[in-house]
Chains A and B, each alone.
Chain A
Amino acid sequence: MTAIGRWLHDRLPVEPGALRELTNEPVPYHLKRWWFALGGTPAYLFVVQIVTGILLAFYYQPHPSTAYESVRYITEEAAFGWYLRSVHKWAATLMIAAVVLHQTRVYFTGAYRKPREVNWMVGMLLLVCTLMLGFTGYSLVFEQLSYWGATVSANIADTIPVAGGFLKQMLLAGEAYNERTLARFFVLHAAVLPGFLVALIAVHIALVRLQGVTELRFRNEPPDENRKFPFIPDHLYTELIIGLVLMVVLSALATLAPATMGPLADPRTTPEEIKPEWFFYVTFRWLKLMGGTAAVLSMGLVVFVMFAWPFIDAWFRRRTRLSEASVWIGIAATLLIIGMTIWEAVAPH
């Protein structure tokens, strides 16, 4: 051990071997395939969001009188401001997409089943947190659509029986959108939700580490002696390559389709077309189809079923012979979500 190593070891009494074992989890062979390595992608994009978000926060001013102008300054005047804002925006989109893809893989491979039910629920919380981050971030620009999007969302929350009024008040910091609302969104977006996300990611990874990654055996895999490979450096390299490709993709998207600004929020003028961010298209369309409280309650039920799915699935499998019913339900649900998202996207109003 070198002198520096000894100095450190005296103060941090951690055995290098134990540290190596802790971080160097044996990884199942199926993760050699790229499409099974999506779990790390949202985490990587989250790091991108933290870095770009901190830089944006240097300039952003969360007040109705200054928010729009500060975003305009970032977009049009601050050095590389347009790039940071555009990367932040596209990374948010890709992060949600990556979470959805990861969840799809976990769902269809049955990786949520015993003993990983709790980690599925942690994953669901991560999804909800990510969507909330997207919603609060969209609202910060204080342009027409973000203002009215927030107002409509608060009104939707208001339709929830019993707790609706309280939720609306908590969201808007009052009965209606006011000068304190943006500060609330900003604190949620830049501190509370990222804090939750960090904690949830830690629990998620700890559970993966404790329970191990679900092993998937394909017919064409090599013999049993090579079924695992080390996390460091093999899988780390895979994640690094994905990260580099993502950085190129983000830069290309930021350059080709940079974040723009709509008209300044005008509480007196309701836009003819109100649309939320794309990841809420499905709920928005559902709301239009069902209307009011019925839509909110049914969506609440769907979210509850998604949370409790490992237990519902186990109960279903115990009582029926349809062991693969979850696959067909998953296919139907995915097609429904995609269909309704596209429907809302192409609908003029």
Chain B
Amino acid sequence: MTLETKRIVIGSLGALFLISLVFVQWLETTRRAEEAGLRPARVVAPASSAACVECHQETNPGIIDHWRGSTHAAKGVGCVECHQAVAEDPDSHSHYGFHIATVVTPRDCGACHPHEAEEFAQSHHAAGGDILASLDNFLAETVEGAAQPFDPHSPTPGRPMEPVNGLASAFLGCQQCHGSKVALRATDGGTVTVDDLSPDENGIPTNAEALDRILRNDDGRPLFDAGSWPNTGIGRLNLDGSRGSCSACHSRHDFSPRRARQPENCGKCHLGPDHPQKEIFEESKHGVAYRDLTDSMNLEAENWVLGEDYSAAPTCATCHMSGHSRNNGRVTHDPGERISWTNRPPVSLPMDTDAEHRVVTTADPAERREQIADTAEAKRTRMKEVCSHCHTPDYVNAFYRQYDDFVTLYNEKFAKPGQAIMAALLDQGLRSPTQFDEEIEWTWFYLWHHEGRRARHGASMMAPDYAHWHGMFEVAERFYMELIPQAREMADHAAAAGRGTQARAVRNVVDSILARPEHAWFEGGAEAEATRIRDAMTRRYGRAPEAPPE
């Protein structure tokens, strides 16, 4: 072999080596960048889902792009793993050789995440769908909308004269947070829901007749009732008998843990006039710290353990769900595990819960002892473990004392009296059992459902403006300036109508409440207190408060 030939051999092999080196270094650099979180992980669709990815990349690139950025994709979990179904599933259909279902339920997620699914099933979140038989839903379905479709009363240019769907407000309002009862259209014009299907413990329907009634298109795909789907409400009532939707918090199709850790995620539902937890958090020092120190939150961490992965600030998830250094990093999917008061009802109750995770409401001490499976104190201790990462025990205990006092003040001064007045009006027949058909029912609803909750939530999460101005100030104004006068007015009308006994009974309740020391100022006056304040201000500013300092 000549030297010239060897030169070609050396040059060729050297070039091949350098090209392979560049290629390997490119792969290596990419892999390192993915590992350091500087770019999304390289994803290869698993063989079972390769065809899905290829087709849906064209038809729904957003779904595929989201999925590519997910931990699922990185771990080889594709489309089929979550959407696969058996032929007996009511919403299953054959799709290019696979039996798939559109709706992925907690039962499906629980196949790989059984612990999380079980915790979630026991949570108050999973019971969100109970609103379908509650006062709130009456408000949406009847007061705001109409239980039955009705015809439009005049044409709207450009729109057909179709019946008005009176449940639209419930579908797009309440149920998008609380969850719908997923329904399939039936051949008889009705719907098929979990109630009709009676699924067994594996989620398979036991009612063949209901299965046969499901309306399907030419491809055999079941048709959803538009009111119930799409829906990612947290307490969704699924066709397989499971409750909830994991994607309510873990948005599909990237199921980002980072997003679930951020308050904006909870803010889809926990905001607004009746329970503005997100706004309350933002006003609190916790929220201020989070906004400032977001970059130090290590939100990408795999386990995100408080005290190990971060300690810059808390989010909703930090206090209510995430693991921390004092509980070996154990995450809970039951946000109620660390909450010691339920501020949801008109009168707050300690979160002593029974084996079914329901709040124990009986006042009898013996019955309480028997029923309580997890005490409010135990829940508070769990929360204190979180608090203790940044606060001393004295600080935390003192805060809880302030919080307990606040909730008790609201309960005793306004909530229980309000309940008593409303009960008296009902008992005496001065208001109808139908809700929201009388002004005082709106007044009472505003008092406890909006302002009362704002006050209590504001106090629970250290947001003074919500505890006071958006809270107790408005509760007081609503109580003294609306609830009391309206109750008295209803009693006066009853007396004028010859129902003196009933009127007297209501007046007695109102008067006895206002005679209590905490309400005595309202009718008895508080001149001594006013004089004391006036004198103090005169000493401070050199003049009476009527002439404020310039």
Contacts and interface: CB of A to CB of B under 8 A. Distances in A.
Partners in one complex: yes
Interface of A: 35, 93, 97, 100-101, 104-105, 108-109, 144-145, 216-219, 257, 260-263, 272, 275, 278, 281, 324, 327, 331, 334-335, 338, 341-342, 345-346, 348
A343 to B, nearest CB: 10
Contacts of A331: 9, 13
A170 B23 CA distance: 35
Given A108-B9, A341-B20, A341-B24, 17 more contacts: A35-B10, A93-B21, A104-B17, A109-B10, A144-B35, A260-B33, A260-B36, A260-B38, A262-B36, A278-B24, A278-B25, A327-B1, A327-B9, A334-B13, A334-B16, A338-B16, A342-B20
Contacts of B31: 275
Interface string B13-47: 11011101101110111011101101000001000
Contacts of A216: 3
B11 interface: yes
B516 interface: no
Contact of A100 (B2, B17, B23, B25): B17
A99 to B, nearest CB: 12
A11 B545 CA distance: 99
Contacts, number: 80
Nearest to A90: B25
B231 to A, nearest CB: 35
Nearest to B20: A338
Contact of B35 (A257, A263, A341): A263
Contacts of B38: 260
B532 interface: no
B6 interface: yes
Contact of A35 (B14, B44, B75): B14
Contacts of B219: none
Given A342-B24, A345-B23, A218 B3 contact: yes
19 contacts: A93-B21, A93-B25, A97-B17, A97-B18, A101-B17, A104-B17, A108-B9, A219-B2, A257-B29, A261-B36, A262-B32, A263-B302, A327-B9, A335-B13, A338-B17, A341-B24, A342-B20, A345-B24, A345-B28
A262 B35 contact: yes
Ranked 9 nearest A-B pairs via Cβ: A260-B36, A262-B35, A345-B24, A257-B29, A324-B1, A338-B20, A260-B32, A345-B27, A108-B10
Contacts of B28: 278, 345
Contacts of B16: 334-335, 338
Contacts of A281: 24
B299 to A, nearest CB: 14
A335 B20 CA distance: 11
B324 to A, nearest CB: 17
A348 B32 CA distance: 14
A342 B11 CA distance: 20
Main secondary structure of the interface of A (DSSP, over half): helix
Given A108-B6, A257-B29, A324-B1, A145 B17 contact: no
B523 interface: no
A105 B13 CA distance: 10
Given A257-B29, A260-B36, A278-B25, A218 B18 contact: no
Contacts of B14: 35, 101, 104-105
B32 A105 contact: no
A262 B41 CA distance: 13
A35 B10 CA distance: 9
Contacts of A260: 32-33, 35-36, 38
A93 B26 CA distance: 13
Contacts of A93: 21, 25
Contacts of A335: 13, 16
Contacts of A348: 44
A169 B62 CA distance: 52
B201 interface: no
A141 to B, nearest CB: 11
B527 interface: no
A109 B32 contact: no
A349 to B, nearest CB: 10
Nearest to A93: B25
Given A281-B24, A341-B20, A342-B24, A105 B10 contact: yes
Contacts of B13: 104, 108, 331, 334-335
Contacts of B11: 35
A247 B185 CA distance: 71
Contacts of B20: 338, 341-342
Contacts of B2: 219
B6 A327 contact: yes
Contacts of B394: none
A167 to B, nearest CB: 27
Contacts of B21: 93, 97, 278
Contacts of B27: 345-346
A35 B8 CA distance: 12
Contacts of B6: 108-109, 327
A144 B25 CA distance: 19
A59 B23 CA distance: 32
Nearest to B2: A219
A105 to B, nearest CB: 6
B520 to A, nearest CB: 64
Nearest to A327: B1
B529 interface: no
B4 interface: yes
A346 B13 CA distance: 21
Contacts of A100: 17
Contacts of A263: 35, 302
Contacts of A334: 13, 16-17
A218 B7 CA distance: 10
A185 to B, nearest CB: 20
A338 B23 CA distance: 11
Contacts of B17: 97, 100-101, 104, 334, 338
Nearest to A110: B6
A123 B24 CA distance: 25
Nearest to B6: A108
Nearest to A346: B27
A144 to B, nearest CB: 8
Nearest to A109: B6
A345 B25 CA distance: 9
A104 B36 contact: no
Most buried by B among A93, A100, A145, A257: A257
Contacts of A345: 23-24, 27-28
Contacts of B1: 324, 327
B35 A145 contact: yes
A313 to B, nearest CB: 14
Nearest to A101: B14
A218 B35 contact: no
A95 B540 CA distance: 80
B114 to A, nearest CB: 21
Contacts of A261: 36
Contacts of A109: 3, 6, 10
A143 to B, nearest CB: 8
A217 B3 contact: yes
A144 B32 CA distance: 12
B23 A342 contact: yes
A194 to B, nearest CB: 24
Interface string B386-420: 00000000000000000000000000000000000
A281 B17 CA distance: 14
Nearest to A275: B31
A345 to B, nearest CB: 5
B12 to A, nearest CB: 9
Nearest to B38: A260
B224 to A, nearest CB: 38
Contacts of B302: 263
Most buried by A among B29, B33, B44: B29
A108 B14 CA distance: 11
